[in-house]
Structure formats: C-alpha cells, structure tokens
Amino acid sequence: MKTLSAAAALSTVAAAPAISEAAGPIDSQTWSFTGPLGYYDEGQLQHGLYVYQTRCQACHSLGLVRFSSLTGLDVSEDAVKALASTYEIPYINDDGDRDVRPGVLNDTFPWALGNPKRAIATYGKAPPDLSTMARSRIGGADYVYALLTGYDDAHEQPEGAYYNKVMKVISMPNPWPADMSDFEYPNGTRPSLEQQARDVTAFLNWAADPYLEERHQWGIIVVLYMLALTVISFLAYRVVAAKVYAKLDAEGGPDPEH
C-alpha cells in the first residue's frame, strides 16, 4: 500500500476514489489570523513550511506560490535564494530539449510528481495543488486541521477505506507515521502531531491568503478615515447651519407657516 503525504488527506474530494460519508460538525479552532485584527505568526509559518516540505511536497505542489513570497515569513532573501536553488525546475533549453535548472526567486514550488499521468499511475488520481486549499473548503483552516488530525485507526473499515472524524469513511490512508518521536523542527523543537497539523494549516492559509495582514491594516485605516470624515462632516454641518439660522434670525426668520 502506498503511503501518502500529510497534506494528501486534503484531496478527499479532488483526489483518490470517492469513498466518503459525511461525519459530524467540525470543531472551531482558535487561529491568530482570524478576526478583523488577525495576523500571522511568522515562527508558526516557518514551521508549517517545514512540515509541508517534509510531509506534503512529495505529492502536492504549491503552484501559485513563488519562492520570493517566502520573504514574508521573516526569512532573509539569501536564505530564500538558497532554498529555491535546491529545487529542480523543468524548462526547455536552447537546443529545444527538456532540461532542469536550479530554482530562482521568481519560480513557483514545482510538483514533485512532474505530470498528471505519473500522479495517476502512482495514486489513482492526481493529488491537488495546495495553493488555495485552506480557502477553498467550507470551514477553511478548521476543516484542514480537523481532517489532518481526524484519523482513528481503531475503527474497522471496509478494504481500502479509513475512518476520519470529518469523513467517517474515507479512501485516504492515515498520512501520519506511527512513530514521530524523532521528528523535530530545525530549531530543535519536537512537535506533536496536533502541533504539526496546526503549523501546516497556518502555512496553507498564508499560501492561500498572503495579503491578509495588509488587508486588515488597510481596513482599519479606511474605517478610521470614514469615522474622521463623518466627524468633520458633522462639525461642518453645525457651522454652516449655525450661520444660516443666525442670518434667518437677523432677517426676522422664515414664515412660521411655511
């Protein structure tokens, strides 16, 4: 049986034979990036990128995410350039032949499987790109996290099916290895399964909505501007109205019957 990457579970609908049965509601989680003042935790995003690289990218691409955008994770440009250069990017060389070259900042994350036919031959159906996954599912980040943490091998299922609290019967295997005691982040932290799921979920939400913080900041500026404009307009109205009423009083005022 082939073992899929952690994010392969996200392809419940878009990939693998459809064997699914809806389960109960998804629990709401607390995320730093939700709400009008939401923001991204850059350390969490860096950890999420690492989880994607180690558990997801063997099957899934981030075809809409350029390496240059990773500088938004508080990663230096030199470090991003070094990261990009570790990827092989297919291209057509000057002789018209297919070739590969080291990645550069302007490249997007490549698909390790290369092409849909290879993906179908390997998994039965092409695993989806994860660039917008966290924003394209009902429930968003809560859905992604619930799916990644929802597997329970204790439940017996038909051949080729698995139990997940999001989908009671799902055709995607449990993506997490049984023993993760030796897995650690580059900073030496040894995260639990739940923490890895939270970190990669946050990263995928950033990948789908990298301008969230800027949008929130501009939203606050616009609201404050509109409030200030409202106050100025009201004060201007009071000044103009006072002058009009003063003039009417000086002239004897308008006819009470009109």
The confidence score (pLDDT) of residue 118 equals 85
Instruction: Give tens-digit pLDDT for 97-121.
Output: 888 889 999 999 998 888 888 888 8
Banded model confidence at residue 3, pLDDT cuts 50, 70, 90: very low
* CA proximity to 61, closest of 108, 129, 4, 11: 129
Mean per-residue pLDDT, 230-237: 95
pLDDT value of residue 87: 92
Residues for the chain: how many in total?
A: 258
**Would the pLDDT of 230 be above 50?**
yes
Task: Indicate the pLDDT class of residue 29, thresholds 50, 70 and 90.
Answer: very high
Domain at 6-65+108-209: CATH code: 1.10.760.10
pLDDT of the residue at 163:
78
Is residue 6 pLDDT above 90, yes or no?
no
Cβ contacts of 162 within 8 Å, gap of 6 or more:
151, 153, 169, 170, 171, 172, 173, 174
Q: Where are the domains of the chain?
A: 6-65+108-209, 211-258
With a pLDDT cut of 90, the percent of the chain lying above it is 46
What pLDDT, in 10s, does the model give residues 180-208? Answer: 888 999 999 999 999 999 999 999 999 99
- Residues 248-254 have a mean pLDDT of 73
Q: Which helix (H) or strand (E) holds 169?
A: strand 167-169
Q: What does the pLDDT read at residue 159?
A: 67
Return mean pLDDT, the chain. Answer: 83
CA dist 67 and 106 (Å) reads: 6
Rounded CA separation 165/167 (Å): 6
Considering only CA atoms, which of 144, 149, 164 is closest in space to residue 208? Answer: 144
122 vs 253: which has the higher pLDDT: 122
Virtual CA dihedral for 58, 63, 67, 73, nearest 10 degrees? -80
